[in-house]
Amino acid sequence: MEENNSLEKIVDQEIIRNSTKKTILVDTIGNISYSLTVGILLDYCIGLNLAGIIASRASATAMNSVTGGPYGWWREKAFEITQTNEKSGGLKKGFVDLLAFNTFQVPIYAVAIIMGSLVSEGEIDTEKVQNGTMYLASISVFIAPTLGWYMDGCRKLFNVKPATEGAYKKKL
C-alpha cells in the first residue's frame, strides 16, 4: 500500500482529529507560512541584506513553530474577552485581530530583527529593531486582519473552528 504523506492527511489523522493538537498544528502551519511570505518583504523594507533576511526568517520560523499555537489561542482569547463572535461586524473582528497581533506578534518580530541584525552586522542594531517594530505596528492595520483571515482559512481547510468560535475552548 502506497503511503500518502500529504499535509492534509498528516493533519487529519484520527489521533488528532478535532483535538487541541490538531488546532495547534494548523495554527502553527498558518502562522509560519504567512510569516515567511510577509516577513521577507518586511525584512527587505527595513534594510536587512540577504544574510540578514535569511537569519531573520529562520529565527522567526523557529519562534513561530513554538508560538503559532499560542498565538491562535491568544486570538481566541481576544475574541472572547471582547465578546466578538462570528456574527460581529467585520470592523470589530479586524480591531480584535489588530489587538491580538500588536500584543503578541510585534514583540516576537523584534526578537527576529535582533537575530537578523546580529548575523548580518555582528551586533544588535537597536535602530533597526525600533524601526522594524514601529513599521510592523504601523502596517499591522493591514497585516493583522489578513493574518487572521489566513489562519481562519487554514482552520477551515482542516475542519477546525474559526477563532471567533473557539477551537481551544476549555482545552488548554
Greatest mean pLDDT among 7-21, 70-84, 120-134 lies in 70-84
The upper half-sphere exposure of residue 156, i.e. CA atoms within 13 Å in the direction of its Cβ, equals 8
The pLDDT score that the predictor gives to residue 16 is: 52
User: Structural domain boundaries of the chain?
Assistant: 17-157
What integer pLDDT is reported at residue 1 of this predicted model?
Answer: 47
Q: What is the pLDDT of residue 168?
A: 87
Neighbours of 34 (CB within 10 A): 21
DSSP per-residue letters across 110-132: HHHHHHHHHHHHSS--HHHHHHH
Q: What is the pLDDT of residue 112?
A: 81
Task: Output the pLDDT for position 144.
Answer: 96
Residue 5 has pLDDT above 90, yes or no: no
Does pLDDT of 117 surpass 50?
A: yes
What is the percent of the chain with per-residue pLDDT over 90, rounded to a whole number?
A: 63
The answer on pLDDT for 135 being more than 80 is: yes
Cα 154 to Cα 30, 53, 102, 125, 168: the distances in Å are 6, 25, 21, 35, 15
pTM of the model: 0.78
**Structure confidence by residue, pLDDT tens digits, 11-65:** 555 445 558 899 999 999 999 999 999 989 988 988 889 998 998 899 889 989 9
Higher pLDDT, residue 119 or 81: 81
Residue by residue, DSSP assigns the chain as ------HHHHHT-GGGTTSHHHHHHHHHHHHHHHHHHHHHHHHHHTT--HHHHHHHHHHHHHHHHHHHHHHHHHHHHHHHHTT--TTS-HHHHHHHHHHHHHHHHHHHHHHHHHHHHHHHHSS--HHHHHHHHHHHHHHHHHHHHHHHHHHHHHHHHTT---TTT-TTTTT-
Taking alpha carbons only, the member of 27, 48, 5, 10 closest to residue 171 is 27
